[in-house]
Amino acid sequence: MRAAPWWTWRHAWPAIAVLVSLVVAAMAWARMLRQRVEAQTAEIENQSSFLRQVIDMCPGFISVRDRSGRYTLVNRALAEEFGRTPDELIGKTERDWAVPEEQPR
């Protein structure tokens, strides 16, 4: 089977050049997006770290719960009141970590 007479290198190279250019442009764009995401992620991590420091410096109890009652944020003062770390309380409900009342003897 022979190639079509119009499909020669002379006719194909502009189309190939355009396709290669598009691939290179897409790769450059993907790299730029990756760099922007990494920069924004670093900024969010810095802000999160700063917020955590501010929350932990507050002597009052600070907590945030989701709709199902699980803690998503707990400051150090609240965690220390129950003898735990903030990480131990995250994802749990009050029933999971509250100190049980003393039972009468």
pLDDT, tens only, 43-92: 999 999 999 999 999 999 999 999 999 999 999 999 999 899 999 999 99
The half-sphere exposure of 85 on its side-chain side, counting CA atoms within 13 A, is 2
Residue 26 has a pLDDT of 97
Tokens 């507050």: give the residue: 58
Q: What is the pTM of this model?
A: 0.59
Q: Is the pLDDT of residue 3 over 70?
A: no
Query: Taking the mean position of all CA atoms in its chain, how far away is CA 1?
Result: 55
Residue 34: pLDDT band with limits 50, 70, 90: very high
Q: Is the Cβ–Cβ distance between 74 and 68 less than 8 Å?
A: no
CA distance 30 to 19: 16
